[in-house]
């Protein structure tokens, strides 16, 4: 008889946190359900009979998150890092999704809050300053962001930063984000980097990928590495010389697909992300044309398209306009990475001149309904 195991979570059992709604379900069943959902989404495509749907890439069940987003409640003397559930502050620092080293990091952060006297923001009274702490790990170093109501405590944080980094030398990047509105918004536009180092380096598949305080990076490093490596493997033998990576972020796909025989262009609207991508390309010795532009506008202005187009859109998908432009640009191959297979299905139905050749699910977020999907498409008609 097969032994079925469950990841037990005290927070879920006590009704304190429901973020991982599928945690009572054995992981292999979660994975099978996500695979079945992707199968159903792909089955709506005219080319479904020709799709090579590969087995899903599984995540570790626990300790897989490389970042924490914590609401700060309580008091200066006793700060609580976690969530607010039914108007109660829940300390979530023992969450099993975080690797063990996060415990020491959370301890350092609580000490910082006490020393700099960062008063947690109270939603009801609208008093206090510190709203969130946002923490990112690369497995060896840390990037820490304080989300504050105002700039009033920046001087205090700067005052103690050198001392903090002596106590916690793995803290590489520290910043303050200003979110002054009384709304459930995670962060604002203003960011003040207080440390001498401004970027945290994640090394995936032999490539350095850098993130700054407001850069996007996948939450599950091991699964992200598998996603990028799969993209590299699927496209290695394609007869293409010109490659575009739209919505390229810090350059994960573009850097993995680069070679001396290819002209690679990466487009991303975030200038800080492009700055990170350029540093990675320089260190890799890859000649990639990274540009801080709107992906839709870039595609519409182009007179000639690439032979391989890589797209990694936000959850809303590509949309009808960009799909129409892709049809006009006529890339021979399309690599579509999606964090929302529902909108991906809508886009693939719009791309009527393309057939899906390969598809695979990457489970970035165990115990939830979310998943990443990667599809390789080929143009089948002019």
Rounded to whole angstroms, the Cα distance separating 379 from 120 reads: 55
Q: Catalytic residue at 17? A: no
What does residue 25 show for φ and ψ, rounded to 5 degrees? Answer: -90, 130
How far is C-alpha 278 from the geometric centre of its chain's CA atoms? 19
Which position among 9, 276, 323, 339 bears the catalytic label? 339
Q: What is the DSSP pairing of strand 88-91 with strand 79-85?
A: antiparallel
3-state secondary structure of 187: coil
What does residue 77 show for φ and ψ, rounded to 5 degrees? Answer: -75, -30
Output the six-digit token pair for 293: 């532009």
Rounded to whole angstroms, the Cα distance separating 243 from 240 reads: 7
Rounded to whole angstroms, the Cα distance separating 356 from 379 reads: 9
| Distance in angstroms between the alpha carbons of the first and the last residue of the chain | 54
Distances (CA, A) of 196 to 158, 173, 174, 193: 11, 8, 9, 8
The CB-side HSE value for 132 (13 A sphere, CA atoms) comes to 20
Residue 180 backbone zone (phi > 0: left; psi -120 to 50: alpha; other: beta): alpha
Closest CA to 165 of 111, 103, 230: 111
The residue assigned the tokens 């409640």 is: 73
Q: Go through the chain and tell me how many residues it has.
A: 382
The string of DSSP letters for 106-156 reads: HHHHHHHHHHHT-PBPBTTTTB-SEEEEEEEE-SS-EEEEEEESSSTTHHH
Let me know: does 130 contact 148? Beta carbons within 8 Å. Answer: yes
Q: Point out the residues that are catalytic.
A: 339
């Amino acid at each position: 008889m097969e032994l079925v195991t469950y990841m037990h979570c005290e927070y879920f059992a006590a009704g304190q946190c429901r973020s991982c709604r599928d945690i009572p379900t054995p992981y292999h069943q979660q994975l099978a359900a996500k695979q079945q959902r992707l199968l159903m989404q792909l089955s709506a495509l005219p080319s479904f009979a020709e799709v090579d749907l590969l087995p899903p890439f599984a995540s570790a069940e626990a300790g897989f998150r490389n970042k924490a987003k914590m609401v700060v409640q309580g008091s200066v003397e006793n700060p609580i890092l976690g969530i607010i559930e039914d108007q109660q502050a829940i300390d979530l620092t023992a969450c099993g999704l975080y690797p063990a080293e996060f415990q020491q990091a959370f301890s350092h952060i609580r000490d910082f809050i006490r020393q700099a006297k960062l008063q947690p923001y109270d939603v009801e009274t609208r008093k206090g300053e510190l709203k969130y702490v946002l923490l990112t790990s690369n497995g060896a170093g840390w990037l820490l962001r304080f989300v504050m109501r105002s700039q009033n405590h920046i001087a205090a944080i700067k005052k103690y930063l050198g001392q903090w980094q002596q106590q916690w030398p793995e803290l590489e990047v520290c910043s303050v984000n200003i979110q002054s509105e009384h709304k459930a918004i995670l962060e604002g536009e203003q960011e003040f980097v207080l440390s001498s180092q401004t970027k945290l380096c994640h090394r995936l598949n032999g490539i350095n990928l850098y993130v700054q305080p407001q850069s996007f990076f996948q939450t599950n490093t091991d699964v992200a590495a598998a996603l990028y490596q799969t993209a590299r493997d699927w496209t290695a033998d394609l007869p293409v010389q010109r490659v575009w990576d739209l919505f390229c972020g810090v350059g994960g796909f573009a850097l993995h697909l680069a070679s001396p025989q290819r002209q690679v262009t990466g487009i991303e609207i975030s200038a800080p992300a492009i700055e990170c991508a350029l540093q990675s390309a320089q260190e890799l010795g890859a000649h990639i044309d990274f540009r801080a532009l709107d992906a839709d506008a870039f595609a519409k202005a182009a007179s000639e398209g690439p032979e391989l187009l890589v797209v990694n859109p936000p959850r809303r998908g590509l949309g009808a306009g960009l799909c129409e432009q892709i049809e006009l640009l006529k890339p021979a191959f399309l690599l579509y990475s999606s964090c929302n297979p529902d909108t991906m299905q809508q886009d693939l139905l719009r791309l009527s001149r393309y057939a899906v050749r390969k598809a695979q699910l990457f489970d970035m977020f165990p115990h939830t309904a979310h998943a990443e999907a990667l599809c390789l498409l080929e143009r089948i008609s002019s």
